[in-house]
């Protein structure tokens, strides 16, 4: 199975295959405008699509428990089917952790070109997803499978969160430090892997890593705002946080951690269309000062299964900036 190059069966890879952020904003805004309350709602919506939407929807069960629900699937980011499954599951579970919750149960979402790819390969993908979900203590049972020209895999996940201890997108307070819990660079390294077949084991390990410990540590430290850094890149997700909370996020470029080889990947031109679109979209909202183009691309790099960006200090994870009262630009990068 190792000679089969899964990444060659799809156009965009991983979270870089998301609909561009500006177009998604318009879609979600139109939906939110047309949204009316359900008839006789069975549960109170605590987090919905207001302000562009958070990482997951949250509905109240009782005073101390709320249900978190989310779905994520994408095209192959790596050629190895088991690793792709692990990464896709870690990414799907991540939106529950990005709300400060605990995933309880997941179902598989599988799109498979059965004429082109053996079903045995799909089984490896599902095995990888199951192993990571089980490591998270999450039940996996059931799912849905369809055939289509490009393979896609992910999960729909349900979890639990305390309604007073959530990590909301819109709650960042001025004066708080900004913390990032995984290094950046998975986008450029996945692009390089897709182009050449070179495997970057550190990137695979980081993408397959759960955001569980970071999320728990953040909630334990009293942090109440955060999101996961995925397809819109650090700058895109920072902008969405700043916009939702009406603050400015200042990022110290020199404090941002990167995977080894990420800089060489940019120098080698291994930048996805998604990353370039991210930068075009976010640039009008960012004061870059004198930060050079390559650095801007790295900060906008479309991540797959990235870490948590948190408005608060969390022991064991690097501080990369601070939350400020809203200034001229929602995001400031200091060189």
Ligand X SMILES: Nc1ncnc2c1ncn2[C@@H]1O[C@H](COP(=O)(O)OP(=O)(O)OP(=O)(O)O)[C@@H](O)[C@H]1O
Nearest-10 Cα torsion for 282, 284, 285, 289: 100
Q: Count CB-CB contacts under 10 A for residue 126.
A: 21
Q: Is 40 helix (H, G, I), strand (E, B) or coil?
A: coil
Residue 50 or 287: which CB sits closer to Mg ion?
A: 50
Under 8 Å CB-to-CB from 147, ≥6 apart: which residues? 111, 112, 113, 114, 115
Q: Which is nearer to Mg ion, 191 or 230 (CB)?
A: 230
Question: To the nearest whole angstrom, how small is the minimum distance from the Cβ of residue 16 to Mg ion?
Answer: 14
Total interface residues for ligand X by CB under 6 A: 14
| DSSP, residue by residue, 318-335 | -EEEEEEE--SSSEEEE-
Q: Which of 15, 172, 188, 266 binds ligand X (CB under 6 A)?
A: 15
Report if residue 55 touches Mg ion, rule: CB under 5 A: yes
On whether 228 is known to bind a ligand per the annotation, the reply is: yes
Q: What is the distance between the alpha carbons of residues 148 and 197, in angstroms, rounded to a whole number?
A: 24
Applying CB under 6 A, among 190, 191, 230, 272 the residue interacting with ligand X is 230
The candidate with the shortest Cα–Cα distance to 90, out of 10, 77, 79, is: 77
Does 28 bind ligand X (CB under 6 A)? Our answer is yes
Euclidean distance between the first and the last CA atom of the chain, given in angstroms as a whole number: 45
User: To the nearest whole angstrom, how small is the minimum distance from the Cβ of residue 107 to Mg ion?
Assistant: 19
Identified binder of ligand X from the candidate list 1, 4, 31, 43, rule CB under 6 A: 31
Residue 228 binds to ligand X (criterion: CB under 6 A): yes
Work out how close the CB of 98 gets to ligand X at its nearest, in angstroms, rounded to a whole number.
Answer: 7
Query: By C-beta, is 270 or 305 nearer to Mg ion?
Result: 305
Q: Which is nearer to ligand X, 15 or 206 (CB)?
A: 15
- Return the structure tokens found at 89: 């599951």
Return the half-sphere exposure (C-beta side, CA atoms, 13 A cut-off) of residue 47: 31
User: Binding mask 87-126 vs ligand X (x if CB under 6 A, - otherwise)?
Assistant: --------x-------------------------------
Burial 307-316 (b: 16+ CB within 10 A, else e): bbbbbbbbee
The side-by-side arrangement of strands in the sheet containing 139-146 is 45-47, 57-62, 65-74, 152-161, 102-111, 139-146
- 192-211 binders of Mg ion (CB under 5 A): none
Q: Say whether 134 counts as a known binding-site residue.
A: no
DSSP class of 72: E
Q: Is 152 annotated in some ligand binding site?
A: no
- The response to whether 80 counts as a known ligand-binding position is no
Residue tagged active-site, from 6, 10, 15, 93: 15
- 138 given a catalytic annotation: no
Q: Is 215 annotated as a binding residue?
A: no
Q: Is residue 287 annotated as involved in ligand binding?
A: no
Compute the C-alpha angle 60/62/68, nearest 5°: 35
The least distance separating ligand X from the CB of residue 115, rounded to whole angstroms, comes to 28
Only segment of 122-130, 134-142, 226-234, 241-249 that touches ligand X (CB under 6 A):
226-234
Task: Show the binding pattern over residues 44-73: x = contacts ligand X (CB under 6 A), - = does not.
Answer: -----x---xxx--------------x-x-
Give the Å distances, CA to CA, from 271 to 206, 296, 299.
19, 12, 12
By a kind-dependent CB cut-off of 5 to 8 A, residue 28 interacts, out of Mg ion, ligand X, none, with: ligand X
Stretch of residues binding Mg ion (CB under 5 A), selected from 13-21, 90-98, 121-129, 243-251: 90-98
Which of 311, 316, 333, 321 is CA-nearest to residue 98? 311
Q: Which positions are catalytic? A: 15
Binding-site annotation, residues? 18, 52-55, 72, 95, 143-145, 228
Residues binding ligand X (CB under 6 A): 15, 24, 28, 31, 49, 53-55, 70, 72, 95, 228, 230-231
């Amino acid at each position: 199975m190792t000679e089969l190059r899964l990444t060659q069966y799809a156009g965009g890879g991983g979270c870089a295959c998301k609909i561009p952020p500006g177009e998604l904003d318009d879609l979600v805004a139109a939906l939110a405008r047309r949204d009316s309350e359900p008839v006789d709602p069975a549960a109170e919506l605590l987090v919905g699509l207001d302000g562009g939407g958070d990482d997951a929807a949250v509905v109240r069960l009782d005073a101390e428990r709320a249900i978190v629900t989310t779905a994520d699937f994408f095209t192959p980011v790596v050629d190895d089917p088991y690793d792709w499954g692990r990464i896709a599951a870690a990414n799907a579970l991540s939106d529950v952790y990005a709300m400060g919750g605990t995933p309880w149960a997941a179902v598989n979402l599988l799109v498979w070109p059965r004429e082109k790819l053996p079903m045995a390969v799909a089984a490896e993908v599902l095995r990888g997803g199951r192993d990571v979900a089980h490591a998270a203590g999450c039940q996996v049972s059931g799912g849905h499978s369809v055939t289509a020209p490009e393979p896609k895999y992910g999960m729909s996940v349900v979890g639990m969160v305390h309604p007073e201890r959530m990590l909301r997108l819109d709650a960042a307070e001025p004066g708080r430090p900004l913390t990032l819990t995984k290094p950046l660079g998975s986008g450029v390294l996945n692009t390089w892997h897709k182009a050449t077949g070179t495997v970057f084991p550190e990137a695979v390990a980081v993408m397959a890593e759960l955001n569980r410990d970071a999320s728990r540590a953040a909630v334990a430290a009293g942090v109440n705002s955060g999101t996961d850094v995925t397809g819109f890149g650090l700058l895109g997700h920072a902008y969405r946080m700043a916009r939702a909370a009406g603050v400015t996020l200042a990022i110290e470029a020199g404090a941002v951690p990167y995977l080894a080889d990420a800089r060489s990947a940019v120098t080698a031109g291994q930048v996805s269309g998604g990353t370039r679109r991210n930068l075009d979209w976010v640039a009008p909202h960012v004061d870059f000062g004198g930060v050079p183009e390559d650095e801007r691309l790295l900060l906008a790099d479309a991540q797959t299964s990235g870490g948590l960006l948190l408005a608060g200090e969390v022991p064991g994870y690097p501080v990369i900036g601070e939350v400020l009262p809203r200034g001229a630009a929602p995001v400031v990068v200091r060189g």
